[in-house]
Amino acid sequence: MNVLIPRKIHSPRPYLIAFEWADGFEATISTESLRNACPCASCKGETIMGKTVMLPAMQTFKPGMFELAGINPVGNYAIQVGWRDGHNTGIYPWELLRTTAEDHALSEEKISELLRREKDAQQQS
């Protein structure tokens, strides 16, 4: 069994994604962190003759780019993540998911702050 395969992936809030691994490691990260880690060629640049070439589209903010549209398993080595701006070419291997979760895990305080902010925004509208 590949220990890097998450036991559970869910999205507790539209802007949060939570992972749980068999070794007990759990992390919640923002969907923004996940999108920023997108390994596809148009996000990370294409390697052409040993050089990474950035495509100009990557820096532009698009509405919905940090909102999850869907997560699909790819074989038993990765997940494919779709976003509401239509971007869906990002294939995240297990190892990338794990390192992204380790690097961008939100603290309990940060998560409650985000939840509080969401609640405040709802009360104002």
- Rule CB under 5 A: which residues touch Zn ion? 38, 40, 43, 90
Q: CA-CA distances (angstroms) from residue 102 to 42, 83, 86?
A: 24, 22, 27
* Amino acid at site 53: V
Of the pair 11, 88, the CB lying nearest Zn ion is at 88
Q: Tell me whether residue 6 or residue 90 sits nearer to Zn ion (CB atom).
A: 90
The CB-of-69 to Zn ion minimum distance in angstroms stands at: 13
Distance CA 42, CA 56 (A): 9
Q: Hey, what amino acid is at 101?
A: A
* Closest CB to Zn ion among residues 34, 38: 38
Q: Closest separation between CB of residue 50 and Zn ion, Å?
A: 21
From the CB of 76, what's the least distance to Zn ion, in Å? 22
> Residue 78 is which amino acid?
A
